[in-house]
Amino acid sequence: MLTITRLDQQDARRLIEGAEAHSRSIGVPMCIAITDESGHLLAFSRMDGGKITSTTIAIDKAFTAAAARKPTHEYGTASQPGAPAWGISSAIGGRLMVVGGGLPVEHDGQVIGGIGVSSGSPAQDQSVAQAGIDHWLAARP
Amino acid sequence: MLTITRLDQQDARRLIEGAEAHSRSIGVPMCIAITDESGHLLAFSRMDGGKITSTTIAIDKAFTAAAARKPTHEYGTASQPGAPAWGISSAIGGRLMVVGGGLPVEHDGQVIGGIGVSSGSPAQDQSVAQAGIDHWLAARP
Amino acid sequence: MLTITRLDQQDARRLIEGAEAHSRSIGVPMCIAITDESGHLLAFSRMDGGKITSTTIAIDKAFTAAAARKPTHEYGTASQPGAPAWGISSAIGGRLMVVGGGLPVEHDGQVIGGIGVSSGSPAQDQSVAQAGIDHWLAARP
Amino acid sequence: MLTITRLDQQDARRLIEGAEAHSRSIGVPMCIAITDESGHLLAFSRMDGGKITSTTIAIDKAFTAAAARKPTHEYGTASQPGAPAWGISSAIGGRLMVVGGGLPVEHDGQVIGGIGVSSGSPAQDQSVAQAGIDHWLAARP
């Protein structure tokens, strides 16, 4: 048997809290999704003004980052024309996201969940996801 | 043009807050989803111990209640063998839920969103969804 | 709560009317879809001679333009190899369209719906979508 | 954070080993699927003669048993016409299985995975799934 560490609901809220604060500071309302390490949704917030399409995209960015244990922007690089993972962006019914804004959440070198952000530019989305993680890390004892 | 009233993020959190409180009082951790009046996800919480399958089921109950403007348990009655809506339960790729636990959220006689709850019995799910609405109503000025 | 403005059925028909007129003037029968601001279908016309594949494509272009609040051809630019949104074209099960021909419909600076056109070249599709909007704007009091 | 116990690959093989032995003893070649506690596939065997349709059905039975923490035949009872969970069988795109043959795998009172079996009668499928669990339990120190 394996022993797995996983985000709980308090972690999930802390991640969303940090992401929302940064989202407000840059003036871009976001969709923010938190998944467990298996890619299943734990918590979600579509801030007032977040895009409808970003509902699914944020969830799928978090899913990808957690379940593939890789930031989504790294898949963006790896899936360029001629690169080894070319075409991966349509895998899993299109759920495998290669656009920046999805980050794995790690603890003791293990992926224990994912955060996915969407509605701004990919760079903005990624900075908001990182802010969620930074806030969560700062709150840990 | 039409003018539509829609839950905002504060409403969504209030609905989840009330649902979680009742969920804890009956000792059944739940998945709770809030959608806008068009059935798009606004907020979601999988409480620690909520079922994985209930992630999708809660979202789809909220979707159905909001977008069809009907409690999901009423579809349960209407879709029994021989009843008029027989077979509706597999519509929209199975997203149209006929199991209790999805309720429309109404304001001034209009549906402005939906709440969907899953992980307990359908009766428990429905009572937790109702508790979310009651709490939201009590908080309104 | 939020107050949302949304296209009504009369708006939708006016948009289609303008699009069909331009479609006939360039001799390319089109599929034309109108969605509300949440991306849900309001009205649709496959003109005699419109392509079968364009049924879905027009609907998804209107969905994308409304729900992401962005013309689909702008996603075409942003999702080129090496560009920030590379790979977005397969998101949401492939519904996020990056081919020209989808335009948001705006009123008072807010997106209140979308129009999507398909069957011609992307440039033709876009011109027909714009003609629908121009006709709708001209008819407004 | 939560600490989760999960089947590992050795457990999965042991479960399949026991299921295959019983399958051979009753002369019905089976599809056998093992998932982790989140419902994701860990191991799979379509014995020579197993049905093609049962590939998906076995996987979805294991998914349901693990992710809903309930034997699939219990959903069969609960989802009969007039029963509380009527209509649940088409949930999650039809993945929620209510036909017997899916069992949760438990350890210390927690669900740590699922086994799903298909190709025979539901009673045969269930007995083969149970044989897998019995064999796995017997092998544990």
CB contact at 8 A, A105 and A113: yes
Residue A89 in any domain: the answer is yes
Residue D43 in any domain: the answer is yes
Interior CA angle at A114 toward A109 and A119, to 5°? 140
ipTM score = 0.96
- Give the distance from residue B39's alpha carbon to the nearest chain C alpha carbon, in angstroms: 9
User: Which residues in chain D are contacts of B89 at CB distance < 8 A?
Assistant: 86-87, 89-90
What's the domain range around D100? Answer: 9-139
Which residue of chain A has the CA closest to C96? A53
**Closest Cβ–Cβ partner in D11, D40, D107 for A38:** D40
User: B63 in the Ramachandran plot: left (φ > 0), alpha (ψ -120 to 50) or beta?
Assistant: alpha
Residue C136 in any domain: the answer is no
The kind and range of the H/E element at C106 are strand C102-107
> According to the model, what pLDDT value does residue C139 have?
85
> According to the model, what pLDDT value does residue A139 have?
86
**Closest Cβ–Cβ partner in A8, A40, A44 for B43:** A44
**Cα–Cα distance measured from residue A78 to residue B131, given in angstroms and rounded to the nearest whole number:** 48
**Residues of chain B predicted below pLDDT 70:** none
**Cα–Cα distance measured from residue D116 to residue D103, given in angstroms and rounded to the nearest whole number:** 6
**Is pLDDT of C117 > 90?**
yes
The number of folded domains in chain B is 1
**Cα–Cα distance measured from residue D53 to residue C101, given in angstroms and rounded to the nearest whole number:** 41
User: Which residues in chain A are contacts of B44 at CB distance < 8 A?
Assistant: 41, 43-44
Residue A1 in any domain: the answer is no
SS (H, E, C) C70-94: CCHHHHHHHCCCCCCCCCHHHCHHH
DSSP bridge pairs for A35 = A41, A114
Residue D4 in any domain: the answer is no
- Give the distance from residue A37's alpha carbon to the nearest chain C alpha carbon, in angstroms: 21
Per-residue model confidence as pLDDT tens digits over C72-112: 999 999 999 999 999 999 999 999 999 999 999 999 999 99
> According to the model, what pLDDT value does residue C125 have?
98
**Residues of chain A predicted below pLDDT 70:** none
> According to the model, what pLDDT value does residue A96 have?
97
Residue B36 in any domain: the answer is yes
CB contact at 8 A, C34 and C44: yes
* CATH at C39: 3.30.450.150
Per-residue model confidence as pLDDT tens digits over C40-51: 999 999 999 999
**Is pLDDT of C61 > 80?**
yes
> According to the model, what pLDDT value does residue A120 have?
98
Residue A3 in any domain: the answer is no
Per-residue model confidence as pLDDT tens digits over B11-23: 999 999 999 999 9
Residue A2 in any domain: the answer is no
**Residues of chain D predicted below pLDDT 70:** none
Encoded tokens for D37: 């506690």
**What is the percent of chain C with per-residue pLDDT over 70, rounded to a whole number?**
99
> According to the model, what pLDDT value does residue C71 have?
98
Are B80 and D85 an interchain contact pair (Cβ–Cβ within 8 Å)? Answer: no
Write phi, then psi, for D44 (nearest 5 degrees).
-150, 140
Are D36 and A38 an interchain contact pair (Cβ–Cβ within 8 Å)? Answer: yes
